[in-house]
Amino acid sequence: MGARKGESRRPRPSPVLILTGASVRPGAPVPTVLFLCPDHAFTSRLAEALFNAGAPPGWRATSAGIGPARPVDRKLASVLSALGLPLPAMEPRSWDPTLLGFMRVVVSVVEPEGPGMPPALVSKLEFRWRRTDPTTLSGMALLAWVEELRAPVASLGDYCRERTPRILG
């Protein structure tokens, strides 16, 4: 869709997939963003915490891994503490196909096409954030990586905020 004459076209944040479905009615589930990463040990949890800290009214985020295989990365607690954000309490968990029906936005935050990425899930991801694995980083390199993640998360919040009346209406 192009912009009308005299209007500028605002780019869509990427990567985002809006899942189709009925509008949310009173008592229906809150519009939710699902952040996915390979192991649910760092990146998707950080994106979840960042989004929830500035979530548009009526929105929330959750996170999962393609195949959780290890505990939460110890650096995550330090990073979140430095940002003044709580650590999501759940143990690493795998995505569940039934989750997709409740999600309004699905975001893959790390290279998703690796081993174990279900083809059905790949087909649901229209866009991807191609973030490198931060677990090998430390110090200033890790802080720079975190700052680079904040911008697309904020843009996603704007994207959701613009759609709130349509979804909640």
Does pLDDT of 107 surpass 50? yes
Does pLDDT of 118 surpass 50? yes
Mapping DSSP to helix (H, G, I), strand (E, B) and coil, where does residue 29 land?
A: coil
Q: Which residues, in sequence order, are CB contacts of 48 under 8 Å at separation 6+?
A: 33, 35, 61, 62, 63, 88
Cβ atoms 36, 56 nearer than 8 A: no
Per-residue model confidence (pLDDT) at position 23? 39
Q: Which residues, in sequence order, are CB contacts of 1 under 8 Å at separation 6+?
A: none
pLDDT band at 29 (very low <50, low <70, confident <90, very high): low
In the predicted model, what is the mean pLDDT of the chain? 75
Instruction: Express each pLDDT in 1-14 by its tens digit.
Output: 444 444 334 333 33
Please give the average per-residue pLDDT across 16-25, as a whole number. Answer: 36
Per-residue model confidence (pLDDT) at position 79? 93
In the chain, the amino acid numbered 25 is R
- CA nearest neighbour of 135 among 85, 92, 89, 90: 92
19-28, 140-149, 159-168: which has the highest mean pLDDT?
140-149
The dihedral built from the CA positions of residue 88, 89, 94 and 98, taken in this order, carries a sign that is negative
Bridge partner residues of 37 (DSSP): 65
Domain layout of the chain by residue ranges:
27-164
Per-residue model confidence (pLDDT) at position 27? 58
Query: Cα(first)–Cα(last) distance of the chain, in Å?
Result: 23
Please give the average per-residue pLDDT across 93-104, as a whole number. Answer: 76
Per-residue model confidence (pLDDT) at position 113? 55
Place of tokens 């569940």: 96
Mapping DSSP to helix (H, G, I), strand (E, B) and coil, where does residue 118 land?
A: coil
Cα distance between residue 129 and residue 111, in whole Å: 7
Per-residue model confidence (pLDDT) at position 126? 52
Instruction: Express each pLDDT in 50-60 by its tens digit.
Output: 999 999 988 99
Cα distance between residue 49 and residue 51, in whole Å: 6
27-164, CATH topology level: Rossmann fold (3.40.50)
Does pLDDT of 18 surpass 50? no
Please give the average per-residue pLDDT across 92-109, as a whole number. Answer: 78
Does pLDDT of 119 surpass 80? no
Q: For the chain, list the strands marked E by DSSP.
A: 17-18, 32-37, 60-65, 105-110, 128-131
Per-residue model confidence (pLDDT) at position 91? 80
Residue 140: is it exposed, middle or buried by C-beta count within 10 angstroms (0-12/13-18/19+)?
Answer: exposed
